[in-house]
Amino acid sequence: MISFKEINLPVGSRLQMALRHGSVDSIYYTQFIGYLDGQYLIVKTPFENGISVQMQLDEQVTLRILSGVDVFTLICRIKTIFRAPHHYMHLSFPTDIKAIALRAALRAKVNLPVQINGVAGAGIITDISLQALR
């Protein structure tokens, strides 16, 4: 099992937040502000069409974090909601974090000119990793 600290999530990272309203899952995006180890995460309240998304205390939220090669899924509950003017909230500290490998190796966007021996013309490499390139 992975710990939250091992994710090494930088402040300001974009998070996907899933909320279930009845039988409908709603997906929003928010920003990571910080955390107090073992106690809570601090995230910005998501907005939709310029209005803060309505949430309730103790409501369950699913956070998804995309790293370079993994997607982490965390289940939390809303502990505190701070409204205007700052719009942020405390979420329960995740105890069960799941990681799913998205890719075998970290990829990087590049713009490298290439020429292949015996082939007329040139090309551009636009995406490269330890295992492949495009």
Q: Whole domain around residue 117: which residue ranges?
A: 105-134
Same domain membership, residue 66 and residue 131: no
> Which tens digits make up the pLDDT trace of 4-29?
999 999 999 999 999 988 888 999 99
**Residue pair 89/81 in contact by the 8 Å Cβ criterion:** yes
Question: Which residues make Cβ contacts (< 8 Å) with residue 42, sequence separation at least 6?
Answer: 32, 33, 34, 35, 88, 89, 90, 91
Q: Which residue has the higher pLDDT, 116 or 48?
A: 48
- The CATH number of the domain holding residue 88 is 2.30.110.10
Same domain for 92 and 121, yes or no, is no
**pTM score, whole prediction:** 0.75
What pLDDT score does 19 carry?
94
Could you report the per-residue pLDDT of 110-128, keeping only the tens digit for each? 888 888 888 887 888 888 8
The answer to whether the CB of 129 falls within 8 A of the CB of 109 is: no
Alpha helices in the chain (DSSP H): 4-7
Q: Are 108 and 128 in contact (CB under 8 A)?
A: yes
User: 3-class DSSP state for residue 85?
Assistant: coil
Count of structural domains, the chain: 2
Q: What is the pLDDT of residues 50-97, one digit of tens each?
A: 999 999 999 999 999 998 778 999 999 999 999 989 999 999 999 889
C-alpha to C-alpha distance for 70 and 22, rounded to whole angstroms? 29
One domain for residues 47 and 23: yes
Residues 110 and 84 in one domain: no
Residue 7 main-chain phi, psi, to 5 deg: -65, -30
